[in-house]
Structure 1
Amino acid sequence: MPSFKSHVVSFVLRHSRKQAFSSPENMQRWIAAARKTETHQPPAALRARLDIQTHTVDGFPVYEIAAKGGEQKRILYLHGGAYVFEITAYHWHLIGEMADRLGYGITVPIYPIAPEHNFHAMFGMVGGVYRQMLEETDAENIIFMGDSAGGNMAVVLTMMAAEEALPLPSRHVLISPGLDMSLANPEVFEAERNDPWLGISGGLEAIRMYSAGIDRSDWHISPVYGDLSVLPKTLMLIGSRDLLTPDNLIFAEKARAAGVDVEIVYEEGMVHVWPLIDMPEARRARQSIVAFLSQETRSSAAREDARPSTGTDWTTAEAAE
């Protein structure tokens, strides 16, 4: 059963953030308002406890959280925000917890966002970041992690690296990723009615501003249509009240058919990017990420489920705390 706090979060989102996705005009207004207050700076508490350095790639900041005690593994974290909003404190708190618990180095590019920039600028910058990482770290020690739009970027970046014959990351962690912008799946429209946060109309406006005229069914925008066989072992975290979930199920099935090892953590009643929000379900999700990346054995509280309508295997955390 979803926690009381998750119900509060859903209520607040429906009466606040949902407005941004309700129309193209509202999306533009929210972007304009966000530009007046956004900051990419890590919270002071994070800076106090972690070794964080900054450099630039293509003129944009890149934060580097140092690894602990000779640890070789590094995470490239690509933040969400519909390609139009800046990294937030919610992202930084997740990043900080991963740094604390795993001890890995974490690279956080503050990539150029739309409408001031587009697909080409974003991937030019994050591609440059990845090339720099490869100069310092073996690809087998690199993990791509991203939420929402950042999850999309992680998959697309891997596919683009494969095209260029670059070494590929060893794992993906995708939190509520956006993997199909084509609207080809009719289940998305039903899912929108149950989603207290995202909406199709405003979301399409964000894609229009970001996509540089590339067709929404092109794999550069919707990686579900790309060569999934190049992808590494993948953990996906999805919830039942997220309009992106139906497409994520299709992506998982297609990736598995292409030979990719895909693990899904599914939470009933959870909204878009719920692992970023401070509530019991998020704590379980973060433990799943740590287990996946550190090769720990999953908690006995996890169970395998099946969803007859899709045939997709699920791992669903029990509600007990």
Structure 2
Amino acid sequence: MFLPEAIIPPLLRATHANAPFLTEAGAIEEVRKLALTPTPCGPPKHLRRDVTVTVRREGPHPVYTVTPSKTTATGHVIYVHGGGWVHEISRQHWALIAQIAAEANTTVTVPIYDLLPHGNAGSAHDLVVTLFQQASEHDNDVRLAGDSAGGQIALSAALTLRDQGHTSIRTVLLSPALDLTFSNPQIPVVLPTDPWLGIDGGRYLGNLWAGDLPVEDPRVSPLNGDFARLGPMMILTGTHDVLNPDAHLLVTNARAAGVQVTVVERRNAIHVFPLLPTRPSATARSRIVEALRVGKPA
């Protein structure tokens, strides 16, 4: 069942969804609260019947694998979930991951990385790099995808993997966090229209997530990286998202570096709009599936 797109922002404002991101105090409280009571990370009990889910561990981290159950998978996607570096993977993420596996007929690996206050950009980056390297030993077509904070991790990993010789990596990024300084002068302009994210809390979480790395380091803020020799890139973004201005900078910089970039921008749409239960979001999810299907350019 689809919801009208127009009712989503009022619902988010009514539930104070932006509280962890709007102020530093809100961010501190969210980290404290979720550290005391972590959210489960496993898939919902009732996922699609046409996928199979398995789990293993890479060191201390659960790593899930979702594959189509009725066909032989072709290619491999590593999907990194978002959540502001503090929220665990959600049922909306799992639904998209299962859709990608079934409808793109591909294997999807899902790393469960450590969140704040225990995790940091360096450890999450290294986990995704390791999983990509493992997958590439068995498959010539490994792609990276992620939303929000997961988009930051995925793109940062792509830059490192490129430097290690894995050129032409294809990426699909949903409302990615790209510069954790939140210093783009257009962000305050967008802020009043965004019912979900904020600046001061986001900046606090970004600095905490940086850990021992400078927040400007491309492993933390991938917008500062060099995008040459990356493969085709798809970016999905809404104009009522404070991360939208940096998405435009990414498009400009990546194209200047010779990267083929497809932009799916929806006017008046909010953060990670493809994950929402609306008809336009369903259309966006279909675009994601097509971009991650082997043989299809991103």
| Structure 2 partner of 1:114 | 116
- 1:203 corresponds to which letter in structure 2? G
| Structure 1 partner of 2:86 | 84
Specify the SS of the correspondent of 1:83.
Answer: coil
CA distance in 1 between counterparts of 2:49 and 2:280 reads: 27
1:14 correspondence with 2:13: yes
| Structure 2 partner of 1:97 | 99
- 2:124 corresponds to which letter in structure 1? M
Q: CA deviation at 1:69?
A: 2.6
Change over 3 Å in CA distance of 1:79–1:33 after alignment to 2: same
Please list, as runs of the form range in 1=range in 2, the aligned pairs for 1:189-200 lying within 5 A after superposition: 189-200=188-199
Please list, as runs of the form range in 1=range in 2, the aligned pairs for 1:22-61 lying within 5 A after superposition: 22-35=22-35, 36=37, 38-46=39-47, 49-61=50-62
- 1:159 corresponds to which letter in structure 2? L
Q: CA deviation at 1:81?
A: 0.9
Contact 2:162 2:230 in 1 (8 A): no
Q: Which moved more, 1:191-200 or 1:207-216?
A: 207-216
Higher relative contact order (Cα pairs below 8 Å, separated by 6+ residues): 2
CA distance in 2 between counterparts of 1:74 and 1:37 reads: 29
Please list, as runs of the form range in 1=range in 2, the aligned pairs for 1:244-283 lying within 5 A after superposition: 244-283=243-282
CA distance in 2 between counterparts of 1:216 and 1:229 reads: 22
Contact 1:74 1:106 in 2 (8 A): yes
Contact 2:168 2:232 in 1 (8 A): no
Structure 1 portions without partners, runs of 5+? 298-321
CA distance in 1 between counterparts of 2:246 and 2:34 reads: 28
Q: Calculate the TM-score normalised by the size of structure 1.
A: 0.85
Contact 1:142 1:169 in 2 (8 A): no
CA distance in 2 between counterparts of 1:111 and 1:4 reads: 31
CA distance in 2 between counterparts of 1:86 and 1:107 reads: 16
| Structure 2 partner of 1:75 | 77
Q: CA deviation at 1:137?
A: 1.5
CA distance in 2 between counterparts of 1:19 and 1:83 reads: 15
| Structure 2 partner of 1:243 | 242
Contact 1:65 1:105 in 2 (8 A): yes
Q: CA deviation at 1:70?
A: 2.7
CA distance in 1 between counterparts of 2:119 and 2:113 reads: 10
RMSD (Å) for aligned C-alpha atoms: 2.1
Q: Among 125, 131, 134, which residue is 1:132 paired with?
A: 134
Q: CA deviation at 1:255?
A: 0.5
Specify the SS of the correspondent of 1:238.
Answer: strand
Q: Deviations over 1:262-321 (max 9, x none)?
A: 000111111000101111111110121223334679xxxxxxxxxxxxxxxxxxxxxxxx
Q: CA deviation at 1:172?
A: 0.7
- 1:194 corresponds to which letter in structure 2? T
Q: CA deviation at 1:48?
A: 5.1
Q: CA deviation at 1:217?
A: 2.4
1:152 correspondence with 2:152: yes
Identity of aligned residues (%): 29
CA distance in 2 between counterparts of 1:264 and 1:103 reads: 23
Structure 2 portions without partners, runs of 5+? none
| Structure 2 partner of 1:318 | none
